[in-house]
Amino acid sequence: KIFMNTLKYLQSNEFLLDVDLWRLFANLEELNKISLCFLKSFFETVKEHVSKSDSPMDFSSIFRKFFQGDLCQTHQIYCLNYTSAVFYLENLRQREDFSIYLKQWCEQNEQCKRLHLPELLVAPLHRLTRYPLLLNNIWKRSTDETEKGFIWSLKEKVEKSIRDLEGKVKWLDNFQKFRQLQEVIIWPQVWDRDKRFFVPEHLKQSLRENSSENILSSANRLLLHEGRLMLAESTRLLDVYLFLFDDFLLITKIKRNKKKYGGSDTGLIPVCPSLAPELQSFIREGGFCTVLDQPIPLDRLILRNVDPIHVTVFSLRNAFLIQHENRYRQCIAVFLLQAPTETAKKTWMSQIETAISNYTTQHETKKSTAFRFPAESSEI
């Protein structure tokens, strides 16, 4: 509340007017109000029992009012906004005026106990996960069977609510990550990628409309591994960034822009915190990734280890080879890649092998299900 109220005060004095309170704090005021109301009611019941030892300690009415009411719902709203809030905060912190507000106006306050805003924003998430523990402890000590049954069913509902929330948060996090990747991965047109392909100007627009840029728009796709490697070409080593998804591998060239993300010319462009730190810093420097070649489906990818003795002439170390085959098992592309260390090479090879294995298993299961014949009747 120190951070939130200070920001409100500064905005009332026409400072940091472009900072969105909701994006940072969501429904925090409502959450505080309902949580405080629950705690007061809870301790009033305890207090009444202590002052009148003959009165039963009945929590059922309190739990019914709050856990079947707004308590979990307000937490869910806050938690669903949390990833976005961290995303937004990380980019605001790049600004000098916002850093002054954080460090000089808020963090030096004694009540913050040297905690920073990210450490405070996560507190409601921790609070929500502790409610089942509270309900379980009360269930253990309850003597009334009816009350025990009610508290147990309530505990299970709260746990299910948390599991559902975790799924939603993961989905949102994945959605934001892929939306960011769509912004930084550039798909060149086929005639730009290879000069052999000539396309008249009047046909280019229709080909652009069928572009594969939206290949990353599916929120069901997973990014399994990513990182920076070197690609060996005939005369040089090329700086590349690889994205291993659960259904294909994408090799991109690293490009740099003079303009930076978050600069005064471009406005504040958020960088997703769930991306790899290396890619995050690269994006902030104005970098982007241009697709080098078509995506390599995992069922068309052949992975080969390269013995160090075979590549010493090229001064390559920690090398492995990726072969792209078409549906007729013809090799249509080969990529000789160098990792920064032997450990990084082994990690990449292990990740790719596991991804291929999982993809193959998953699709074989689908095929067997699709082609399964119905059971014969015993009368035939």
Q: Percentage of the chain with pLDDT > 70? A: 89
Beta-carbon count within 10 A of 62 CB: 14
Res 217 pLDDT > 80? no
Say if residue 105's pLDDT is above 60: yes
pLDDT of 124 > 70? The answer is: yes
| Cα–Cα separations (whole angstroms), residue 62 to 42, 65, 145, 150, 350 | 7, 5, 18, 12, 53
Query: Which residue do the tokens 């996090």 mark?
Result: 173
**pLDDT band per the 50, 70, 90 thresholds, residue 189:** confident
Q: How far apart are CA 340 and CA 278, in angstroms?
A: 14
Q: State the residue for tokens 């089942």.
A: 132
This prediction has a pTM of 0.73
Q: What is the per-residue pLDDT for 259?
A: 53
pLDDT in the model for residue 375: 53
Residue 213 banded pLDDT, cuts 50, 70, 90? low
Stretch 288-293: mean pLDDT, rounded?
92
SS3 for 137?
Answer: helix
49 or 17, which is more confident: 17
**Confidence at residue 35, expressed as pLDDT on a 0 to 100 scale:** 93
User: How many Cα atoms occupy the beta-carbon half-sphere of 372 within 13 Å?
Assistant: 9
The percentage of the chain sitting over the pLDDT mark of 90, rounded to a whole number, equals: 49
* Residue 266 binned pLDDT confidence (cut-offs 50, 70, 90): very low
Tell me what pLDDT residue 264 has.
40
Confidence of residue 263 (pLDDT cuts 50, 70, 90): very low
Residue 380 in this model has a pLDDT that exceeds 50: no
* CA dihedral over 72, 78, 79, 81, signed as positive or negative: positive
Whole-number average pLDDT of the chain: 86
Q: What are phi and psi of 292, to 5 degrees?
A: -80, -40
| 167-174 average pLDDT score | 86
Amino acid at residue number 71: L
Reported confidence tier of residue 298, pLDDT bands at 50, 70, 90 = very high
Average pLDDT over residues 175-182: 87
Measured distance CA(3)–CA(14) in Å, rounded: 16
Q: Which domains does the chain have, with CATH numbers?
A: 1-184 (1.20.900.10), 190-199+220-257+272-367 (2.30.29.30)
288-291 and 185-186 as β-strands: parallel, antiparallel, unpaired?
A: parallel
